[in-house]
Amino acid sequence: MTRLARALLLLGSLLAMALLYAPLLVTVLFSFNAPRGRFNLVWQHATLANWRHPLQDAALTQAFLTSVGLALAASLLAVLLGGLMALALTRWRLRGQRWVALLLALPLTNPEIVLASALLNLFVGIDLPRGPLTLVLSHSLFCLSYAALTLKARLAGFDPTLEMAAQDLGAPPLQAFRRVTLPLLAPGLLAATLLSFSLCFDDYVISSFTAGDTITLPLYLAGAFLREISPQIQVLSTLVLLVSAALLLLATPRPARPPHDRAGA
């Protein structure tokens, strides 16, 4: 690669990273801001006060906890249902398999507003009051496809001879699954859960249609835009960011040099 091509690549990459990280940096920075007025949007001067009282905004904390609980329930449900589907789709050749795969991929091709609109009309139609239950149902559906396809990809790349070897060594199928398949699948399960959780935790559109009186974190934040943006919002977001980074690092394979990869060297 010539020097010019390399410089252009680097410039583009840096711009891309800047666009990706600008809002995150601003969020972290503003968690140390001492705001004037109700909206922590303009830089005044640095303070640690917000970090000393991270839970001061009680409504925010409540919304955060609600979101954690609901997202946990919905994502575990999605990973369970999706994992079973992925297992069935990769282990057996089934008649109608293509249709199942298509049905599974279809929700990914709809904008969220389509799902939200359809779900609200369903809940109105069957007269199911909107609240935590409808939220968990909606979110588990929303994440199901992501979870199933993530796990399907992992299972497809999985060497079935390992499980057979375990069975040849006398392990009953369930034990082979538990002792061989499951541990090998653990990073995939973690990735699918993390993905589903973050989708549910962060979802605004479907929540705003199906939450009823329940206030999740995104719904609270949308209200805050009009009411008051307390610095605790940025503090909490920074904490969430740190936890996400740690979990992501856990799910990332260790850096290792691929043996035949000498590209660009």
Partner 1 sequence: MPASPKPERRPPWPWLLLAPGLLWLLLLYLLPLLGLVPLSLSEPLSRFGLETVFRGRVATYGEVLGAYGPVLLRSLRTAALATALGLLLAYPLALWIRFRGRRWQPLLIGLVVLPSLSSYLVRAIAWSSLLGDNGPVLAIIHGLGLGGMLEGLGVLRGGRLLNTSTAVILGLTNSLLPFLVLPLVVSLQRIDPRLLEAAADLHANPLACFRRVVWPLSRPGLSAGLLLSLIPAAGDVVNPRFLGGPNERMIANTIENLLLVQLQAPRAAALTLVLMGLTSMVVLLQLRRGGLEELPLP
What residues between 46 and 75 interact with partner 1 by CB under 8 A?
Answer: none
Q: Does 262 bind partner 1 (CB under 8 A)?
A: yes
CB of 66 vs partner 1, minimal distance in Å: 14
Question: Distance (Å, rounded) from C-alpha 79 to C-alpha 3?
Answer: 47
Is 217 in contact with 72 (CB distance < 8 Å)? no
State which of positions 80-109 bind partner 1 (CB under 8 A).
81-82, 84-85, 87-89, 91-92, 94, 100, 102-109
State which of positions 183-222 bind partner 1 (CB under 8 A).
191, 194-195, 198, 201-202, 204-205, 208-209, 217-218, 221-222
Apex 89 CA angle, 84 and 91, nearest 5:
90
Q: Does 133 bind partner 1 (CB under 8 A)?
A: no
Per the structure block, which two tokens stand in for 196?
Answer: 């589903």
**Number of C-alpha atoms within 13 angstroms, CB side, residue 244?**
14
State which of positions 240-259 bind partner 1 (CB under 8 A).
240-241, 244-245, 248-249, 251-257
Question: Distance (Å, rounded) from C-alpha 31 to C-alpha 235?
Answer: 5
Is 142 in contact with 112 (CB distance < 8 Å)? yes
Q: Does 112 bind partner 1 (CB under 8 A)?
A: yes
Per the structure block, which two tokens stand in for 144?
Answer: 């199901």
State which of positions 151-190 bind partner 1 (CB under 8 A).
153
Select from 46-54, 55-63, 113-121, 176-184 the region that touches partner 1 (CB under 8 A): 113-121
